[in-house]
Amino acid sequence: MRGQKVPSFYLLMSLKDRAQKLLEEALLENPSLFLIDYKIGPDNNIEVIIDGDNGVKVEDCIAISRAIEHNLDRDEEDFSLSVMSSGVSEGLRHIRQYKKNIGRKLKVKTKEEIIEGQLISVTDDAVTLTWKAREPKPIGKGKITVTKEALVAYQNIVEAKVMITF
């Protein structure tokens, strides 16, 4: 929009709607990036959290920030803008985040249980986790190590986080 005549309908849009439209256009320019969260506080503090199929570089955050900030008029409306990448502490919210973390250990909370296991597959409806557990032998005393597997539907996931192992 820079250097172009601004359509009249654009001027009637709220700051939130204009910023969101600019954000969507910026994300279209880099299809490997995707939106995790977008919000505007009552004080016009615009907060954007993005992630990427191949991670997010500082340059990606700068590009998104410039695409929004350079096309909004500070004389018209005062605002602040923060564009950041999704951190490990944020948890997984988007199917694309699960896909990029296949092979990593996750901690998944459902309404019924907490599962810690390796993410081995992702579909449009669910994730599959696998882990090892010690269980009593079927016959005799002692325990054996068994491999467990769980298919967890997204709708049952309350929270999912990548576990960092050292």
**Residue in the structure block whose two tokens are 């990029």:** 100
Query: How confident is residue 6, by pLDDT bands cut at 50, 70 and 90?
Result: low
Which residue in this structure is represented by tokens 């700068």? 62
pLDDT, tens only, 106-161: 999 999 999 999 999 999 999 999 999 999 988 888 999 999 999 999 999 999 99
Which runs of E-coded beta strand occur in the chain?
33-40, 45-52, 80-85, 105-110, 114-122, 126-136, 143-153, 157-162
